[in-house]
Amino acid sequence: MAPNMQPYESALDTNENQPKDDIVAKVAEDDALPAAAGANYVEVNTLSEYISSSISKVKNGDSGILPVLVGLIIIAIIFQSLNSNFLSAGNLVNLLSQGAVYIMLALGEIYALLLGEIDLSIGYVAGVAGIITAQLASAQHNWPWWAAIIVALLVAGAIGAIQGTIITRVGLPSFVVTLAGLLGWQGVMLLILGNGGTLPISSNVLNDLANASITPTAGWIVIIALVAVYAAITLAREFRQRKNSLHHTPASLVYFKIAGAAIAGVVLVLISNANRGVLVPIEGLPWVVLIVIAFVAAWSLLLGRTKYGRYVYAVGGNGEAARRGGVNLAVIKTIAFALASFTAGAAGILYASRLRSVSTSLDGGTLVLYAVAAAVIGGTSLFGGKGKPIHAVLGGIVIAGIDNGMGLLGISAALRLIVTGLVLLAAVVIDALARRGKTTR
């Protein structure tokens, strides 16, 4: 281990001999709010107080996910009125499958954005992971599909760790380092595949990841289990906080959230279980949707329930205060870039699975722009310290919805890009105005 590198645990423990800034002291406690909540936090004990607090936040410019939810409703109304197939079960499932890659890439990009950084390389890191998976699982090498996936994800994570180390140890801007990565990993793809080259995926299991579904019965079992686990985790946390006389969410709101998760799960299964086939029946929840749910759940727990996650918010909200509080910024950032690339690697495997091949036609530059757009449109701030995995989901669905809806109407790809760009601009403007409003009060 290099002399200037601290072990992971020591990087997350504050130094008792150093002064603790309010932000770091707050996030160091197990039940503290993320630093992004900041000084505007107001404790609420009843549902009516929570509603009043939420209304006050909206009036003060902190609209949360409200704009993107309104945007999704508008998108649904407009495209359904222009094409009655938009909200059909078959198209909605296709939309979710189509948006899975955008969501996964945005999940990775959020780690960089939370720190006030950016990762421009994840599009081609995804491509490299797809190539590794396809190559190892090919008839030539004949690796088990699961081993090929593990190696691809580890390589992707290592790429992010190397880039993060260069950023933190050499002191270079993340924009420059990851831009170099974008060019370099694109070159690696061309070197392996050749100009115009294509590498087919021969493994049926790998092809099924983005193209097959579980049975309708299995879909119900999975969703019931997921809702039960979510309810157990939520109730256990609330019980612990009440027992320790800590801040807790109003009971009615806790039950409302659990009921909302159950309703969303039921709707998802009902839509997925409807026959969407033409010549042969196609029913069931797509595997790719379950994979996305697994990543969203895991990253939500990591960012919202662990010391590392709280330090990510602290560093993004006020890096200097976090440093003075004893947080090792280099380790936190390096891990974040490793996780970003790891998630991008998973996105690349799903992308290759959907196309049943990997080719040089993969446009990593466009993919990373869609990733940033999805994260920001969903509610993640470009300025750091604000964002959640659910934002990647919402933003990815918005982008997929626009692309899907305009595709149904036969609108050109050029106009789709223009509309997506305008939506992204609107999201950034809203974020900037909200941030400016907070700083002027």
pLDDT in tens, 7-40: 434 444 444 444 444 445 444 443 334 444 444 4
Distance CA 367, CA 381 (A): 19
What is the DSSP secondary structure assignment for residue 246, as one 8-state letter?
A: -
Indicate the pLDDT class of residue 217, thresholds 50, 70 and 90.
very high
**Residue 13, token pair as written in the block:** 């423990």
Rounded Cα distance between 331 and 328, Å, is: 6
Structure tokens at 344: 């991008």
Q: What is the mean pLDDT of the chain?
A: 85
User: What is the CB neighbour count within 10 angstroms for residue 89?
Assistant: 15
Bridge partners (DSSP) of residue 199 are 358
SS3 328: coil
CB of 271 within 8 A of CB of 93? yes
CA distances to 148, 182, 192, 354 from 187, in Å: 22, 9, 9, 23
d(CA 319, CA 332): 11
Give 254-279 pLDDT, tens digit per residue. Answer: 888 899 999 999 999 999 999 887 77
Q: Look up residue 331 and give its two tokens.
A: 């380790």
Structure tokens at 95: 């939309």
With cut-offs at 50, 70 and 90, classify the pLDDT of residue 395. Answer: very high
Q: Residue 224 — pLDDT band, cuts 50, 70, 90?
A: very high
Instruction: Give the pair of three-digit tokens for residue 195.
Output: 């100009």
Classify residue 20 by its DSSP letter.
Answer: P
